[in-house]
Amino acid sequence: MSMRQTVFLGSLGWVAAISLLHGIMNLGMLDRPSGRRRLGLDALPFRVGFIPVTCHLTCPVTNFINEKMTGDGIFVPIRFNGWPELKETFLANDLEATFILAPLAMSLREQGVPIKIVYLGHRDGTTMMVHKDSKIFRIEDLRGCKIAIPNRFSNQSLIIFKAFKERGMKMSEVTLLEMPPPDMPAALYARSVDAIISGEPFMAQSEMDGYGRVLFMTKDVWPDFISCVLAVSDRVIQTRRAVVQRLVDGIAKSGKWLDRDMAHRMQAADFSGKHYYHQDPKLLRFVLSKPPDRVKYTHLSLVRKDFEAIEQLGQEAAILKGTAYFDEYADPSFVPDETTIQPYDWEDALSRDQNTPRRSWRPPAELVLPCTVAAVVLLGWEGIVRLTRNDLFPGPWEVVLGIVELIRKGLLLKYIVASLFRVTWGFFLAILVGVPLGLFLGWFRPAYQAFNPLIQILRPISPIAWIPLAILWFGVSDAAPVFLIFLSSVFPITVSATAAVQNLQPVYLRAASNFELGRMRLFRRVILPATLPQILTGILIALGIAWLVVVAAEMIAVNSGLGYLIIDARNAGKRYDLVVAGMVVIGLIGLALDLVVRRLERFDEVSWGYGNR
Amino acid sequence: MKDLPWPFLREPATKLCTAQCSIGTSAHHTTTMGSPTADPRETGPLAITVRDLWMSYPSQRQGELTHVLERVNLEVREGEFVCIVGPSGCGKTTLLNIIGGFLRASRGEVLVEGEPVDGPDRRRIFIFQEGGVFPWLTVRENIGFGLDRIPRSERDGVIQHYVEMIGLSGFERSYPRELSGGMRQRVEIARALAANPEILYMDEPFGALDYITRFKMRDDLVRIWEAERKTILFVTHDIDEAVQLAGRVLVMSRRPATIQEDVDIDLPRPRDLNSPAYLERREQIFAAMGMSPHGGFVRE
């Protein structure tokens, strides 16, 4: 087959195949639409954003119990891994409602975003941890320390402010660092911060693993502390009142269900950890029981004085301006009567015998390492992990087990397909745009002079910097990562195509002009074939970059992909084996992609351009 | 369009020319030694006419002009094989590029087939010193490059004809990088001939080849010319090459260059390189270039 046929058929077949697989494995294309979908507004999904923290536990509980009891989960829960992504998706109107930090919601309202707080999701549930060996035993000992907080608009920063104020301390006496909660335990372990504070279960992680010590819980400093609330956009309140009401009632019933019986809490730990949070149920069981009032799910009504306390503290701490009042940012009309609302009458029968994770299975010992270098690296890796007695960083065997676990759960193939799907589309779009654009800029000097500075400005911007805008523009669909991958690869392709035209041998152009080729023929028969080797080199480089960017691109709250696997494993607490497993798989696929695409260089149409006469 | 590597300049050179020469004035007639065909020089219609051509372009130093050509006049008749020789850097290639339409002269007139030249033309194909064949095309595809205006059914026949003429049967599907330098150059000549041009412009086409290949290529070119009878204007700095190939040799002076001598080589082909007549023409050209064929420059 000629290069043209191979590339054309190969690309077409690949795009079709990977898109189909992604559709089936990750987008549920073949799933039959369930009977609950009716016509009208309710047929639209009602999406609720949450983060895998126990402050948001009523979200999965409501969804799960309703799904089990009636087959209708009321809403579609959308999981996020960090506050910025959740906020941006909410602002982009891609979420009808979301669990969100109370001061963050209030601040958004102050900035004119049309949202209202309709209910609470929990009370308490935040802990400040210090390293067990540190000399910090009282809040006063925090002077001069580094403290990790989830977000400047979090109530966690306000609780520090409140605790300090009551002790005559100033915020300027400590250094605050914003950090995604999943990363906090590792930071504390490495003692790169002195104290960490966030919603559970990330704090309890360090306690369970034996290097964290509780400095205080919210109930000690600010009883009935509110970290997160349920916020809904005004548009949704006006158009879909019934669903909002069902959601709020569901949260109230879930809260009562959780707080009625410790067995319920254990069941919630199991199904939420397994299906929603992707965290070890043991960790959630720990948080929900030790002590039982570490986090509470009753008294979720909106109480004016609670919010006015936040308002006042927020103003003193200079994170709120005080320009929005309770009546503006809160809508208590959905709040049900606390005394009459009944907990769900439901038990998770399956959870009791299914919760012990089986890790005894071992893969066949046929994973013979292909070369000594790899063996040496792996041995060195294992050796260092053992010598340093590092509990968090996994050795190679744990990573292999992690990969095996992913295969057994059927996740690995799904995630590979998802990542390849996004890279494929982003990368192919980049070729479709970059090659013609580059050729055009290379050929028309004025166009080059006009657009080259712009390209050179955009080119060095990391795709990570585009994440907020990508979410605002594309929401949490596959389009956002595709866009980021497109951005990362379109510039190398454009630049190499431009350079290829500019470096064109004049003798080819002269020969062509001697045969009086028209514009189209000149392009098709001389310019394109003459520049193809260099363009292909640019494309190969871009493919490497596209694959490199997949992790960053999937940090956005998509729910599949190898990048997601890594973020998800971070959220899961101490699952660094899966983080490294994801890294290894990404590396191996990168190698495979390079080997496959590099074969194109051997075609006669381009091989002349690579030096070896 | 991309900038051509040669500068365009419309301003005429101001410096007066001292050396002046028009064709025919110093033509050296020698009795023919049984030429196989009548010399078209006397009878045929004019293929190329160059009248009072000047060329200068900005020099490296700001504001100064480098004068390359001054008052060049020449005529070539249809079917003639004319070589232009001259010291390296004298402007031979510039002259050929102007005639070929790739460069515009500062002043003067170039007529081809009686019409002023205003750019490259597929009826007159230029053959470059090297690298003119397209490396992404096979031998067949290269030779067929200029054949887009003839019916598809005839194309294969034409290509095959020229593949055989240049002796590359069996290499039709090879890529240029799989061929030797001489073979590549023959492909370029075949590509030019296949387009059935009236004139071939050749700019030191064998300059990059080794001595033996060059010898062979000259033989091939003469054979092809005798079969096809194209008008050929051939630039070289190799005097032996010129005398071996051409029916007439134009000798250019040093820069600013003009045609200094016009030497008829009315010898039958294939030429006996040791015949007195051959050596006489050769000596004449050496003398015109201020050199002695026995080595060294003649002091003036």
Q: Which residue ranges make up each domain of chain B?
A: 130-187
CB B143 within 8 A of CB B162: yes
ipTM over 0.85: no
Taking only the tens place, the pLDDT of each residue in A281-337 is 888 888 888 888 888 888 888 888 888 888 888 888 888 887 878 888 888 888 888
CB distance A530–B121 less than 8 Å?
no
The pLDDT value recorded for residue A440 is 93
Q: Compute the nearest-CA separation of A48 from chain B (Å).
A: 57
Task: Give how far A507 is from chain B: nearest CA, Å.
Answer: 6
A601 touches chain B (CB under 8 A): no
A-chain residues within 8 Å CB-CB of B121?
514, 516
Q: What DSSP designation does A523 have?
A: I
Share of residues in chain B with pLDDT > 90 (%)? 11
Residue A397's pLDDT is what? Answer: 86
* Distant-in-sequence, close-in-space partners of A549: CB < 8 Å, separation ≥ 6: A463, A484, A485, A488, A489
Pick the residue of A514, A532, A603 with the most B CBs within 10 A to test the interface with B by mutation. Answer: A514
Residue of A nearest to B133 (CA): A508
Residues whose CB is less than 8 angstroms from the CB of residue A75 and which lie 6 or more positions away in sequence, other chains included: A45, A46, A47, A48, A62, A63, A96, A97, A243, A247
Q: Which residue of B has its CA nearest to A528?
A: B136
Quote the pLDDT of residue A426: 93
Q: Give me the pLDDT at residue A433, please.
A: 95
Give me the sheet containing A212-217, strands edge to edge.
Answer: A175-178, A146-149, A195-199, A126-131, A212-217
pTM of the model: 0.68
Among B2, B136, B138, select the one facing A509 at the smallest CB separation. B2
Which chain A residue is nearest to residue B2, measuring alpha carbons? A443
β-bridge pairing A228-233 and A97-101? antiparallel
Nearest CB to B136; choose among A510, A511, A530: A530
Q: For chain B, which residues score pLDDT lower than 70? A: 1-43, 292-300
Instruction: Compute CA A495 distance to the chain's CA centroid, rounded to the nearest angstrom.
Output: 31
Q: Provide the pLDDT for residue B36.
A: 44
Predicted pLDDT at A370? 62
* Neighboring chain B residues of A605 at a CB cutoff of 8 Å: 136
How close does chain A come to B287, measured CA to CA in Å?
35
Residues of B with CB under 8 A from a CB of A: 2-5, 100, 102, 119-122, 124-126, 128, 131-132, 134-138, 145-146, 148, 175-177, 195
Q: Min CA distance, B53 vs chain A (Å)?
A: 22
Contact B125 A606 (CB under 8 A): no
Beta strands in A45-183 (DSSP E): 47-50, 76-79, 97-101, 115-120, 123-124, 126-131, 146-149, 175-178
Q: How many CA atoms lie within 13 A of A334 on its CB side?
A: 27
Residue A427: the pLDDT is: 93
The H or E element spanning position A533 is helix A528-553
For CA atoms B99, B104, B109, B115, the dihedral sign is positive
State residue B34's pLDDT score.
Answer: 40
Low-confidence spans in chain A with pLDDT less than 50: 33-42, 351-367, 613
Q: Does A524 touch chain B (CB under 8 A)?
A: no
Do residues A168 and A115 make contact, with C-beta atoms less than 8 angstroms apart? no
Give residue-wise pLDDT tens across range A396-439: 888 888 899 888 888 888 889 999 999 999 999 999 999 999 99
Q: What confidence tens digit (pLDDT) does each residue in B232-279 have?
A: 999 998 888 899 898 999 998 887 888 888 888 888 887 888 888 888
Q: Which amino acid is at A362?
A: R
Q: Which residues of A touch B173 (CB under 8 A)?
A: none
> What was the pLDDT predicted at B202?
92
- Chain B interface includes A609 (CB < 8 A): yes
Q: Using the beta-carbon criterion (under 8 Å), do B136 and A606 form an inter-chain contact?
A: yes
Which of B136, B198, B201 best tests the A interface by mutation, with the highest count of A CBs <10 A? B136
